[in-house]
Amino acid sequence: MSTKVLVTGANGQLAKTLKNLFLSNSDNIEFTFLDKSELDISIKDDLASYFNKHNYDYCVNCAAYTNVDQAEIAPDLAYKVNAEAVKHLAQYCEKTKTILIHISTDYVFDGTKKEPYLEGDTTNPINEYGKSKLLGETYIQEILKDYFIIRSSWLYSTYGKNFVKTIISKIKEGDKLNITTSQKGTPTSCLDLSKFIYSLIKTKENKFGIYNFSALGEATWYSFVICISKHFKNYSKTNILPVESYDSNVIRPINSVLNNDKAQAVFNNINNWERSVNEVVVKLLKK
């Protein structure tokens, strides 16, 4: 019998990466990808009628409200999608005995720790996006026993709108860039995260719980941009100005580096962040 997997939020960068890699596979894993127009997870009745008609072994929830700046101004939608909808999704997973693989964020932490964050460290989100994502996690833990919550960080890919693509287009325009040196974290490729998600499904080890998953090493936004800029020989590094911080309505954690040891114990294929950034930039420049 094949393993049946539902993926929500199919138009997002993570879901598109998963789809491109694993829609066809030789492991007898059958994926169904649904975008917001096909399954809006914030409409409880739609979730109910969908889960009444279909049965899955796993649900990978890639649907989320990810506009961190906008969440600060108008948080209602962030809570609706990242918390209330996740609660309902967890309830239907519980009813149908579906294992939920939910993607969460480094922004559940306040960033005051000096070392990389462990899964069990105290959460204390400092912006509305982080608070809405943490509430989603809390509901899952209250409702389900069989779940994976994967906290990732600074995601980018060849799809959609993301930091790497924005910086590449600014460099191509010859723009000067003011980039902060004051926040550290780990840029993580959706490709690497997709491989981890796939491995959880494939191995069926089902050691449930919370996992940090990012690439290895740590960066600042400034070193992240320097890494991208190395692919542009005619663009001078002097165009990239290190700054302390940006004018922003959102507070972001100063340190959001995640300790990956728990993920590495079940998945031994994690790349250094620079290697993965280089691979994605090369792919984007070939497009």
Ligand X SMILES: NC(=O)c1ccc[n+]([C@@H]2O[C@H](COP(=O)([O-])OP(=O)(O)OC[C@H]3O[C@@H](n4cnc5c(N)ncnc54)[C@H](OP(=O)(O)O)[C@@H]3O)[C@@H](O)[C@H]2O)c1
| Residue positions annotated with a catalytic role | 129
Query: Which of residues 193 and 235 has its CB atom nearest to ligand X in the complex?
Result: 193
Nearest alpha-carbon partner for 199 in 60, 62, 55, 90: 60
Between 10 and 235, CB nearer to ligand X: 10
| CB-side neighbour CA atoms (13 Å) of 29 | 25
CB of 95 vs ligand X, minimal distance in Å = 19
CB closer to ligand X, 65 vs 235: 65
Q: Shortest distance, CB of residue 252 to ligand X, whole angstroms?
A: 11
Which residue of the chain is nearest ligand X when measured via CB? 12
Q: Which is nearer to ligand X, 176 or 283 (CB)?
A: 283
Find the shortest distance in angstroms from Cβ 160 to ligand X.
5
Q: What is the 3-state secondary structure (H, E, C) of the chain?
A: CCEEEEEECCCCHHHHHHHHHHCCCCCCEEEEEECCCCCCCCCHHHHHHHHHHCCCCEEEECCCCCCHHHHHHCHHHHHHHHHHHHHHHHHHHHHHCCEEEEEEEHHHCCCCCCCCECCCCCCCCCCHHHHHHHHHHHHHHHHCCCEEEEEECCEECCCCCCHHHHHHHHHHHCCCEEEECCCEECCEEHHHHHHHHHHHHHHCCCCCEEEECCCECCEEHHHHHHHHHCCCCCCCHHHEEEECCCCCCCCCCCECCECCHHHHHHCCCCCEHHHHHHHHHHHHHHC
Residue 212 C-beta: closest distance to ligand X, Å:
11
Q: How far is the CB of 66 from ligand X (least distance, A)?
A: 4
Closest separation in Å from C-beta 155 to ligand X: 4
Q: How far apart are the first and last CA of the chain?
A: 38
* Residues making contact with ligand X (CB under 6 A): 8-9, 11-14, 36, 40-42, 62-66, 81, 85, 103, 105, 133, 152-155, 160
Question: In sequence order, what are the beta bridge partners of 262?
Answer: none
CB closer to ligand X, 11 vs 70: 11
**63 vs 228, beta carbon nearer ligand X:** 63
